[in-house]
Amino acid sequence: MKVLSLSFSEANKEVQQNKILHNSITNIVVLISYIYHNMVRIDNL
């Protein structure tokens, strides 16, 4: 039983890290699209 709970907490830790990774990737994508739109706007001026 102890081994099971240990592996569960390890899996939970990995899920948290994946969430952090996913969030940072999402932030980077949003940032890139924001910069891209601003560049397009500058070109239109």
pLDDT computed for residue 2 by the predictor: 67
Per-residue pLDDT band at 8 (split at 50, 70, 90): confident
Q: What is the mean pLDDT of the chain?
A: 84
Calculate mean pLDDT across residues 14-21.
89
Instruction: Give the per-residue pLDDT at 1.
Output: 55
Average confidence (pLDDT) over 2-11: 76
Rounded CA separation 12/21 (Å) = 14
Let me know the angle formed at the C-alpha of 10 by 6 and 11, rounded to the nearest 5 degrees. 115
- Distance CA(21)–CA(34), nearest Å, equals 20
Q: What mean pLDDT is predicted for residues 14-24? A: 90
1 vs 9 pLDDT, higher one? 9
